[in-house]
Chain A
Amino acid sequence: MGSLSKLNFKIIFHLMGLLLLVNGGFMLLAALVSYLYEDGVLAEIVLAGIVVIGVGGAFMLSTRNHQKEIQKREGYVIVTFGWIFMSLAGTLPYIFSGAIPGFTNAFFETMSGYTTTGASILGDVESLPKGILFWRSITHWIGGMGIIVLAIAILPLLGIGGMQLFAAEAPGPGGDKLHPRITDTAKRLWLIYVGYTLAETILLKLAGMSFFDAINHSLSTLSTGGFSTKNESIAHWNGQPIIQYIIMTFMFLAGTNFVLSYFAFKTKFSRIFKDEEFKMYGIFIVVLTIVAGLIIYFEVDVINSTIAHPMVWGEFESAMRHGLFQVLAIVTTTGFVTADFTAWTPFLTIFFFGLMFLGGSAGSTSGGIKIVRHLIMIKNGMMEFRRTLHPSGVLPVRYNKRAVQQPIVFNILAFFILYMLAYIIGVLVFSWLGLDFNTALGGAASALGNVGPALGDLGPTDNYGSLPDAAKWWSTFLMLIGRLELFTVLILFTPFFWRNR
């Protein structure tokens, strides 16, 4: 018990209270939307907001005499429980308004929102009150904000998954130092995040979306979430390629390291094109799109799909566009849908299933394993050949022209192994809960990578509503550990975390 009492619970609860206050504030913003569109759930959302603010305020007040010291240990607890508390509080608008019946469903939907997964248990979103839809998109957006801070500042500090190498505030070589103080860095990146969101909203509005759809999709794109206000997701605009191209552009940006966006605004373009991860990210997207696009064009009869495919700019453009859209949606783990990739060819189904393990760039809002980790693992693998020939050689992996310290490589290898283990266990539990082979394989990959659409019964045209309750809970768990880069959550389950010393 020694160390348990040593944890600074007061500051943990104080910060939880702060998060709840923020959360409640955003609920009131959703209430404003509800008021403007007169959707009839104004009172319920306001009530939810007040309750959350009240609880948060109470937390903060009762712990105002805290010591301001935060150790690594508290860090893990704060990050993990931060997401859990936010998700618990976020269910209130759904429950009070009756938009989503049942706590399990509401919790699944909020966790899917905050982890920017975008998996939904709702079949008919269009019938929901506008205020609730807005709240749903806002959960993504808050989650995305949290991830930016997490990725650039907190995870490197906690030394998780090799993130110390890629983050903005990383000490030593490899880090792109933005500004010496974390809060300033966070503010700068948030400003970019907000700017991108506003830009996308305006562009989508100009391209012909309604203002409400535009803002919701922007919130959901920048956070690489995937919630849509339409039952058909982005396939709703299959007849308007411009809207889809705008969304693709912003999906690409959201999957890019936000630090690079910062450099772009500072017109330090050379820094961007020198970035190895960005180069790989670009190459991956282009190559994968060409593969997918050509197969769709030559092999797939899209007329058979349940989704309408009007080819307003010709068949080839349509094939390439849907190829690119699906590649971006899966790689950046956004999970928007313009076509059903499971209905194309068996190869493409497996292809997109594989992409769920790729992930976007580090320092972006995307989930998954992340390109930089693949890059370093592949380089390390190749280096092993040379190491066999030169047993005493000093042969470090190089990233962005610098040698990477071996402990960081091990960190990344450990991350990958844990990720795959979590995936296998995830699949096993799903199948034990009665999901079929495809659904279990796809569902676990999608939840762990925070993608959204999966395979089988959870395909791009389906939703998660049909899952058994236990499977929904298991999904939320996978989403949470995937989002928080495994270590942050899983370390709480290790005995040495709680042991003294």
Chain B
Amino acid sequence: MKIIIAGAGEVGFHLAKLLSFESQDITLIDTNRESLSYADKHLDIRVVRGDATSISVLKDSQVDKTDLVIGVTSSETTNITVCVLSKQLGAKRTIARITNTEFIDNKEEVGFTKFGIDELISPESLAANEIELLLNQSGFNDTFEFDEGALTMIGLTLSRTATFVGKSVKEIGTEFPALKYVPIAIQRFGTQYTLIPRGDTLFKEGDQVYFTTTKTGVDHIYKLSGKVREDIKNVMILGGSNIGKKTAKDLCKRSFRVKLIESDKDKAFEIADDIPNCLVIHGDGRNVELLQEESIDDMDAFISVTGNSETNIMSCLVAKSKGVKKTIALVENMDYFQLSHSIGIDTLINKKLLAANNIFRHVRKGEIVAMTMLNNMNAELLEFVVTYSSAVCDKIIKDIDFPRSAVIGGVIRNDEGIIALGDFLIKNGDRVVVCCLPQAIKKVEKLFV
């Protein structure tokens, strides 16, 4: 597939990285020489220097033969222009990154598809959605739902109290036969490697483990993991940026008690005007006294989404030290992102990564129904629809030649989630969730498509 990415910022770079792993034909356009040469050095892609809205630049990039154009520069208008131009010049599909969420809400009414933009992606609203999902599954630090929760992927860090610790996957299986779950990925404490667990893999303290499970399995895993499902009611949000505002608005709608701290007076007033049920505090969130005055100790969750990554991390650590159960920090810097679990903050989110993953999902659309990246791990979760032409159709899982670096997390049949074990027969119309490391993606795809 031939893909043009306009904008070599963090979203563009990350996206190019994800796509280049799959040996797609990628052209990256940007005006900034430095970020282009960085991408050129690190990734196997073609780079073009120039303004992506320039028609000659687009023609040079062979836009007429392109399957997909992705506008992810920092400017919303540039992205829209690039998409509209490319579509007119012959590109098959376009995706634009935007900041104004109104565009997404009124997508049909305005008719973005009509003038050439197929998908609109807003990193801010993706981040807000992610935060909400994380609050719902407060004991876990990562979560993704397939088919409205028929199957759920959850990620958690094993504490010493967890029943899992010190046992192998097989042992757990015999000890709790009723447990419907599949461990799909493990990252050992302090390492960056992702491994796909086998029957003899041991769970260790501090492991970041990912499971797929059914609706009922979530509570079961909660119990076994030694974590209690915290009922989150009081939420404090630091920073009234788009993400903070949207999160506050959505949480207020679902009757959370939300406090939002914003340092700009006019902005604070605007938010107070906009969200009547949210208590807006005007002040600096780094001021611990202010946090205490607003009773941070009573908070169930603390979400820091200011524009400054360091502030977010530090204030989350302050909140953690005051006994807040759930902390979520927004970080822009990918390097910090790697530290996520070792510094004690429950979840770090990165809106650019979210955007890149989301766009990636769109790229794969068609063959794959849904997919997600495991948070800061090197593995992907894919959902395939089985058809008669699929190699796996009408086969028992045991008999399939599945790569070692991939695992079936579950099957959705007639909107119902099933934890599929070795003797399960895959049929036409099943949706199969697979977790795999990047090197196995091609192989897995061949099995299903």
Q: A392 within 8 Å of B by Cβ?
A: yes
B window 262-286: CB within 8 A of A: 262, 265, 268-269, 271-273, 276, 279-283
Whether the Cβ atoms of A402 and B281 lie closer than 8 Å is no
Q: Which residues of B contact A395 (CB under 8 A)?
A: 272, 279-280
Whether the Cβ atoms of A403 and B272 lie closer than 8 Å is yes
The listed residue (A390, A391, A393, A396) touching B273 by CB distance below 8 A is A396
A window 366-413: CB within 8 A of B: 390-396, 398, 401-403, 405
Whether the Cβ atoms of A403 and B294 lie closer than 8 Å is no
Q: Which of A395, A401, A403 has the most CB of B within 10 A?
A: A403
Whether the Cβ atoms of B276 and A398 lie closer than 8 Å is yes
The listed residue (B269, B276, B294) touching A390 by CB distance below 8 A is B294
The listed residue (B272, B276, B293) touching A392 by CB distance below 8 A is B293
- Scan B52-65; emit 1 where CB is below 8 A from any A CB, else 0: 00000000000000
Q: Which residues of B contact A405 (CB under 8 A)?
A: 269
Q: Which residues of B contact A391 (CB under 8 A)?
A: 293
Distance between A403 CB and nearest chain B CB, rounded to angstroms? 4
Distance between B365 CB and nearest chain A CB, rounded to angstroms? 40
Whether the Cβ atoms of B272 and A402 lie closer than 8 Å is no
**Given A393-B281, A394-B271, A395-B272, 12 new contacts (CB under 8 A):** A173-B273, A390-B279, A390-B281, A391-B293, A393-B279, A393-B280, A393-B282, A394-B272, A396-B272, A396-B273, A398-B276, A402-B273
Whether the Cβ atoms of A392 and B269 lie closer than 8 Å is no
Q: How far is the CA of A402 from the CA of B274 in the complex (A)?
A: 8
Q: Which of B265, B272, B273, B293 has the most CB of A within 10 A?
A: B273
Whether the Cβ atoms of B282 and A394 lie closer than 8 Å is yes
Closest CB pairs A-B (n = 3) = A403-B273, A394-B280, A392-B283
Whether the Cβ atoms of B269 and A403 lie closer than 8 Å is yes
Q: Which residues of B contact A401 (CB under 8 A)?
A: 276
Q: Which residues of A contact B283 (CB under 8 A)?
A: 392
Q: B290 within 8 Å of A by Cβ?
A: yes
Distance between A204 CB and nearest chain B CB, rounded to angstroms? 45
Q: Which residues of A contact B282 (CB under 8 A)?
A: 392-394
- Scan B238-277; emit 1 where CB is below 8 A from any A CB, else 0: 0000000000000000000000001001001101110010
Distance between B117 CB and nearest chain A CB, rounded to angstroms? 32
Q: How far is the CA of A396 from the CA of B290 in the complex (A)?
A: 19
Whether the Cβ atoms of B290 and A392 lie closer than 8 Å is yes
Whether the Cβ atoms of A394 and B276 lie closer than 8 Å is no
The listed residue (B268, B290, B293, B294) touching A394 by CB distance below 8 A is B268
- Scan A315-347; emit 1 where CB is below 8 A from any B CB, else 0: 000000000000000000000000000000000
User: Could you tell me how many residues of chain B have their Cβ less than 8 Å away from some Cβ of chain A?
Assistant: 16
Q: Which residues of A contact B262 (CB under 8 A)?
A: 394
Q: How far is the CA of A395 from the CA of B293 in the complex (A)?
A: 16
- Closest chain A residue to B240, Cβ basis: A394
Distance between B295 CB and nearest chain A CB, rounded to angstroms? 10
Distance between B89 CB and nearest chain A CB, rounded to angstroms? 43
Distance between A234 CB and nearest chain B CB, rounded to angstroms? 44
Distance between A24 CB and nearest chain B CB, rounded to angstroms? 49
Q: How far is the CA of A390 from the CA of B292 in the complex (A)?
A: 11
Q: Which residues of B contact A402 (CB under 8 A)?
A: 273
- Scan B111-140; emit 1 where CB is below 8 A from any A CB, else 0: 000000000000000000000000000000
Q: How far is the CA of A396 from the CA of B79 in the complex (A)?
A: 38
Q: How far is the CA of A396 from the CA of B282 in the complex (A)?
A: 12
- Closest chain B residue to A392, Cβ basis: B283
Q: Which residues of A contact B271 (CB under 8 A)?
A: 394
- Closest chain A residue to B260, Cβ basis: A394
Q: How far is the CA of A235 from the CA of B303 in the complex (A)?
A: 68
Q: How far is the CA of A403 from the CA of B273 in the complex (A)?
A: 5
Distance between B274 CB and nearest chain A CB, rounded to angstroms? 8
Q: Which residues of A contact B279 (CB under 8 A)?
A: 390, 393, 395
Q: How far is the CA of A395 from the CA of B290 in the complex (A)?
A: 16
Q: How far is the CA of A403 from the CA of B283 in the complex (A)?
A: 19
Q: How far is the CA of A391 from the CA of B283 in the complex (A)?
A: 10
Q: How far is the CA of A392 from the CA of B290 in the complex (A)?
A: 8
Distance between B269 CB and nearest chain A CB, rounded to angstroms? 6
Q: Which residues of B contact A173 (CB under 8 A)?
A: 273
B window 4-38: CB within 8 A of A: none
| A-B pairs with beta carbons under 8 Å apart, 17 shown | A390-B279, A391-B293, A392-B281, A392-B283, A392-B290, A392-B293, A392-B294, A393-B282, A394-B268, A394-B272, A394-B281, A394-B282, A395-B279, A398-B276, A402-B273, A403-B269, A403-B273
Whether the Cβ atoms of B269 and A396 lie closer than 8 Å is yes
- Closest chain B residue to A173, Cβ basis: B273
Q: Which residues of A contact B276 (CB under 8 A)?
A: 398, 401
A window 298-328: CB within 8 A of B: none
Distance between B264 CB and nearest chain A CB, rounded to angstroms? 11
Q: Which residues of A contact B272 (CB under 8 A)?
A: 394-396, 403
- Closest chain B residue to A391, Cβ basis: B293
Distance between B260 CB and nearest chain A CB, rounded to angstroms? 9
Distance between B133 CB and nearest chain A CB, rounded to angstroms? 28
Q: How far is the CA of A172 from the CA of B294 in the complex (A)?
A: 32
Distance between B281 CB and nearest chain A CB, rounded to angstroms? 5
- Closest chain A residue to B283, Cβ basis: A392
- Closest chain A residue to B278, Cβ basis: A394
